[in-house]
Amino acid sequence: MKKILAGCIGLIALAGCYNDKADQLYPTTTTCDTATATFATDVMPVMQQKCATSGCHDASTKAYGYNLSTYQGVKICVDDARLMGAIRQQSGFKAMPQGASKLDDCSINKIARWINLGAQNN
């Protein structure tokens, strides 16, 4: 009887733990809203954090001739058709950010959307 009782308790304990992984218990869903991508909200923060840093595409260094610390500098890179190829790390383009991880898909999608909306200084 003790063996049966112990077996039942063991099965109940295992059944109670079937879904004990944090990502399954507390799923996180993130959305990437690109409906209204703007320069000030979506593009410039990425440029400041990942591109226009000291020694790269800042106003002093202007690596590869690009200053990505201003709208005008970013727009030149967009008009040259270099920005998207570089951040998407496509063949024939210098992969950016250099020496760092590729930008996350949401950031890339927001920048692409901003360009598709006319790359305005908004």
- Mind listing the pLDDT tens digit of every residue in the chain (122 residues)? 555 545 545 545 545 545 556 655 666 667 999 999 999 999 999 999 999 999 999 999 999 999 999 999 999 999 999 999 999 999 999 999 998 999 999 999 999 999 999 999 99
- Global pTM reads 0.75
pLDDT score of 30 = 77
- Burial label, 68 (beta-carbon count in 10 A; 0-12, 13-18, 19+): buried
- Asked if 40 and 122 touch (Cβ cutoff 8 Å), the reply is yes
- Asked if 103 and 50 touch (Cβ cutoff 8 Å), the reply is yes
